[in-house]
């Protein structure tokens, strides 16, 4: 288990994307300003969803908004479709709050409506991610970056892909976006764990 820290966040609303590891991704542009590092407070747990996400390596500093899902029929089967926030990252309602054991899931657009997670695939093991809940800051370190094919895959493969957004027995943050920029048919999945205290 790692440690968490404190920060601040803000929200938005969203579009939709189809299940498995639902999400489009969004970008903050190469010239976007990145906020300075905040002071890290003693480990804590959040009592509400994150409101902001900051990923210095890919210049993301975006609001986080809570999003839900709907169930729809596709090819004769029920499919869960998570909503994806427009011009913000979307916290999956029901996933773990920062600082708690479980999977905190956040998805964002790659090529439309803000492009918050446009460069998610550029993250590497060891990169920092900061979640904010009000003034609380939770510091995570990337441990794994995956690229999985989604569109056109069998139901079995889509279920396997979806396991990355399911509850976990460890404390983790999972970021999900689509790839590539044109005609996205893959999901980028970034797994991060609480950063070790200095």
Q: Are strands 60-67 and 52-55 parallel, antiparallel or unpaired?
A: antiparallel
Count of alpha carbons within 13 Å of 81, Cβ hemisphere only? Answer: 14
pLDDT at 180: 74
Contact 191, 166 (CB under 8 A): no
What's the pLDDT score for residue 85?
A: 72
So what's the pLDDT on residue 68? Answer: 80
Domains and CATH numbers, the chain: 14-194 (2.40.260.10)
Predicted local distance difference test score (pLDDT) of residue 107 = 92
- Per run of 10 residues, the mean pLDDT along the chain (length 198 residues) is 31 30 35 47 83 96 89 80 79 95 92 79 96 95 90 76 88 89 81 88
Q: Is residue 84 a contact partner of residue 24, using CB atoms and an 8 Å limit?
A: yes
Determine if the pTM surpasses 0.75: no
Q: What is the pLDDT of residue 113?
A: 67
Note the pLDDT of residue 39. Answer: 54
Spell out the SS3 assignment of 31-92. Answer: CCCCCCCCCCCCCCCCCCCCCEEEEHHHCEEEEEEEECEEEEEECCEEEEEEEEECCCEEEE
pLDDT of residue 28: 38
């Amino acid at each position: 288990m790692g440690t968490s820290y404190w920060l601040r966040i803000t929200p938005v609303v969203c579009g939709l994307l189809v299940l498995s590891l639902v999400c489009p991704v969004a970008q903050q542009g190469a010239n976007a300003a990145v906020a300075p590092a905040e002071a890290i407070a003693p480990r804590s747990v959040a009592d509400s969803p994150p409101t902001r996400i900051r990923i210095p390596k890919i210049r993301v500093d975006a609001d986080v908004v809570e999003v839900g899902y709907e169930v729809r029929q596709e090819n004769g089967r029920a499919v869960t479709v998570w909503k994806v926030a427009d011009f913000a990252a979307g916290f999956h309602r029901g996933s773990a709050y920062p600082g708690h054991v479980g999977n905190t899931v956040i998805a964002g657009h790659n090529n439309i409506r803000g492009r918050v997670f446009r460069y998610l695939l550029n993250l590497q093991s060891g990169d920092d991610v900061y979640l904010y809940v009000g003034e609380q800051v939770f510091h995570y370190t990337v441990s794994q970056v995956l690229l999985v094919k989604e569109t056109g895959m069998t139901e079995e493969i889509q279920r396997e892909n979806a396991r990355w957004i399911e509850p976990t027995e460890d404390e983790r943050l999972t970021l999900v976006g689509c790839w590539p920029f044109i005609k996205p048919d893959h999901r980028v999945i970034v797994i991060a764990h609480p950063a070790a205290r200095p």
